[in-house]
C-alpha cells in the first residue's frame, strides 16, 4: 500500500520568511502533485513533477522531486499572507488511470 | 468556463438516515472522482466514474455508493449514516481520467454533519 507522509503538520510563520515543507514515502511514485486548499474551497493543483531530480518553479514556490522519486519538497520564498492554506501532496503510479493517494497535508499560516 | 459545482454545500443528518450528494463536473470532463476529507484521515479516495462506469474504488464500506449519468453529472449516496461519516465530501473532475499525471479540478465540497 502506497502511503505519503508530510511534515511539518502545522507551520506558522511571519510574512517575508522562507519555509520548506516535505512529502515522503517508502514507495516509488511515477509522478507527484502538489495542491493548495484554502478554507471553504477544494484543493487547487500547483504543480506536477514526473522526473526524478526535477525542479519546477512557480513564482516564489520551488518544487523538487527526489532522485529516487520517493520524496518531494516545496520551498516558499518570502511568504505572503496569500500563501496561507493546506498544502497537499498526491502521488500515483502514473498509469492511464488509477487512484491518487493524498498525504495528510501541511497547514500553513502566514502572519502579517 | 464554469467550475465543478457541488450541492448541497451543507447538510445535517441523523444516524441511520441516508444522504445523496450531487456533483456537476466541468463541461467536457468525463471523469468524476469522490473523496472524503476529515481532520484525522485527510483526503481519502472513494471512487471514480468515467463515462458512466465505475473504474476504481477506495477502501470504503458498501454503504458508500455512486453513479454517473450520461451528462457526466455524478451522485454519491451514503446509506445508514454513522457519526464517523461526518466529513467534507469533495468531488473532482478531469478530462483524461484519474491519474497523478492529470489535473483534477475540485469542487468546494459538501460539508456533511451526522448527529
- What DSSP letter does each residue of chain B carry, written as one string? ----EEE-SEEEE-TT--EEEEEEPPTT--EEEEEEEETTTEEEEEEEEETTEEEEE-S--TTEEEEE-TTS-EEEEE-S--GGG-EEEEEEEESS-S-TTSPPEE---EEEEE-
pLDDT of residue A96: 55
Q: Do B100 and A92 touch (CB under 8 A)?
A: yes
Q: How far is CA B113 from each of CA A40, A56, B12, B87, rounded to the nearest angstrom? A: 15, 39, 5, 7
**What residues contact A58, with CB distance under 8 A and at least 6 apart?**
A46, A47
Q: Is the Cβ of B104 closer than 8 Å to some Cβ of chain A?
A: yes
Classify A49 as helix, strand or coil.
Answer: strand
Q: Do A97 and B48 touch (CB under 8 A)?
A: yes
Set of chain A residues whose Cβ sits within 8 Å of the Cβ of B50? 97
Q: Smallest CA–CA separation between B43 and chain A, in Å?
A: 6
The band of A1, judged by pLDDT with boundaries at 50, 70 and 90, is low
Set of chain B residues whose Cβ sits within 8 Å of the Cβ of A104? 42
Pairing of strands A106-111, A10-14: parallel
Instruction: Among B88, B94, B99, B100, pick the best mutation site for testing chain A contact (most A Cβ within 10 A).
Output: B100
pLDDT tens, A53-105? 999 999 999 999 999 999 999 999 999 999 999 999 998 776 656 678 899 99
Which stretch of A108-112, B19-23, B94-98 has the lowest confidence by average pLDDT?
B94-98
Q: Smallest CA–CA separation between B17 and chain A, in Å?
A: 25
Looking at the predicted structure, is the pLDDT value of residue A37 above 80? yes
Set of chain B residues whose Cβ sits within 8 Å of the Cβ of A92? 99-101
pLDDT of residue B1: 65
For the segment A50-54, the average pLDDT, to the nearest whole number, is 92
Task: Decide if A73 contacts A23 (C-beta within 8 A).
Answer: yes
> In the structure grid, which three cell numbers stand for residue A10, read together?
502545522
Task: Decide if A106 contacts A87 (C-beta within 8 A).
Answer: yes
User: Cα torsion for B48, B29, A52, A47, to the nearest 10°?
Assistant: -110
| DSSP assignments along A26-42, one per residue | SS--SEEEEEEE-TTS-
Q: Which chain B residue shows the shortest CA-CA distance from A107?
A: B39
Instruction: Among B30, B35, B40, B43, pick the best mutation site for testing chain A contact (most A Cβ within 10 A).
Output: B43
Amino acid at each position: 500500500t502506497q502511503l505519503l507522509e508530510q511534515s511539518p503538520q502545522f507551520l506558522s510563520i511571519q510574512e517575508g520568511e522562507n519555509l520548506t515543507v516535505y512529502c515522503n514515502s517508502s514507495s516509488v511514485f511515477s509522478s507527484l502533485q502538489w495542491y493548495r486548499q484554502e478554507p471553504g474551497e477544494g484543493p487547487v493543483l500547483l504543480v506536477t513533477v514526473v522526473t526524478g531530480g526535477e525542479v519546477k518553479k512557480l513564482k516564489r514556490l520551488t518544487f523538487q522531486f527526489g532522485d529516487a522519486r520517493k520524496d518531494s519538497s516545496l520551498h516558499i520564498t518570502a511568504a505572503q499572507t496569500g500563501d496561507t492554506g493546506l498544502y497537499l501532496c498526491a502521488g500515483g503510479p502514473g498509469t492511464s488511470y488509477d487512484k491518487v493517494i493524498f498525504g495528510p497535508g501541511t497547514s500553513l499560516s502566514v502572519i502579517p | 468556463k464554469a467550475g465543478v459545482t457541488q450541492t448541497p454545500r451543507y447538510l445535517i443528518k441523523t444516524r441511520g438516515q441516508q444522504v445523496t450528494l450531487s456533483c456537476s463536473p466541468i463541461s467536457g470532463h468525463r471523469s468524476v472522482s469522490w473523496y472524503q476529507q476529515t481532520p484525522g484521515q485527510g483526503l481519502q479516495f472513494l471512487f471514480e466514474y468515467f463515462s458512466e462506469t465505475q473504474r476504481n474504488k477506495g477502501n470504503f464500506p458498501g454503504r458508500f455508493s455512486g453513479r454517473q449519468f450520461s451528462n457526466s453529472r455524478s451522485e454519491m449516496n451514503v446509506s445508514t449514516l454513522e457519526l464517523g461519516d461526518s466529513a467534507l465530501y469533495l468531488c473532482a473532475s478531469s478530462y483524461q481520467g484519474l491519474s497523478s499525471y492529470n489535473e483534477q479540478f475540485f469542487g468546494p465540497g459538501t460539508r456533511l454533519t451526522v448527529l
